[in-house]
Chains A and B, each alone.
Chain A
Amino acid sequence: EPEVTQTPSHQVTQMGQEVILRCVPISNHLYFYWYRQILGQKVEFLVSFYNNEISEKSEIFDDQFSVERPDGSNFTLKIRSTKLEDSAMYFCASSAVTDRSRVLTFGAGSRLTVL
């Protein structure tokens, strides 16, 4: 069964450092997403991406965050200067369509720990 692949599975970084989280969506999917889950809390939407541009973003997705699809397969989330409160599990997701039958397929997540 097709999978969404995320790397790294766990990254530890110092506050103020830049972090790039990588995702390989399912190959025939067109819509890509990043969500995050702070430990023990709810899953929160960050950003959606379609046709090489951001289609929607939440209030969490401020100027410190950016997304990119640098080639035909990868979809990355960059945090320019990490803060302690960025510590969370980050989930990438993709979907084939955006109508009522839309299902998001999630990756296993990248755990980010900011010290």
Chain B
Amino acid sequence: GDSVTQMEGPVTLSEEAFLTINCTYTATGYPSLFWYVQYPGEGLQLLLKATKADDKGSNKGFEATYRKETTSFHLEKGSVQVSDSAVYFCALSDPNYGQNFVFGPGTRLSVLP
């Protein structure tokens, strides 16, 4: 079945450092890909998405590019802030193969001042 793998962390960075969180997927169809973020004590919020190969999703300085050839959707940010400290979940959705989203295990990011 479909699955998502991501680096589990925790990842600890200093403010203004460059961030990469790797995400790779396995899917039988052509999924849409998402990054969700969970701030402490809160629910999951959509950060960005991409629905087809070579699409780039971006939001709040974060970017991720849908790479079909490497089945990847790595999350990047050029300069992280303390307020970016959260858990980041990579997820896929393939409507052709069911209604549910498949989430990765999440990566905890801590940004130190």
Contact = CB atoms under 8 A, between A and B. Distances in A.
Interface of A: 4, 6, 31, 33, 35, 41-45, 48, 50, 55-56, 58, 91, 93, 98-109
A56 B99 contact: yes
Interface string B43-70: 1111001011000000000000000000
A102 B95 contact: yes
B43 to A, nearest CB: 4
B47 to A, nearest CB: 11
A14 to B, nearest CB: 25
Chain B interface bracket (under 10, 10 to 19, 20 to 34, 35 or more): 20 to 34
A48 B89 contact: no
A107 B105 contact: no
B73 to A, nearest CB: 15
Contact of A102 (B36, B43, B89, B93): B93
A109 B44 CA distance: 9
Contacts of A58: 100
Contact of B45 (A31, A33, A100, A106): A106
A55 B100 CA distance: 10
B91 to A, nearest CB: 8
A33 B100 contact: yes
B11 interface: no
Of the listed residues A31, A43, A45, the one surrounded by the most CB atoms of chain B closer than 10 A to its CB is A43
Contacts of A107: 43
A41 B32 contact: no
A31 B95 CA distance: 13
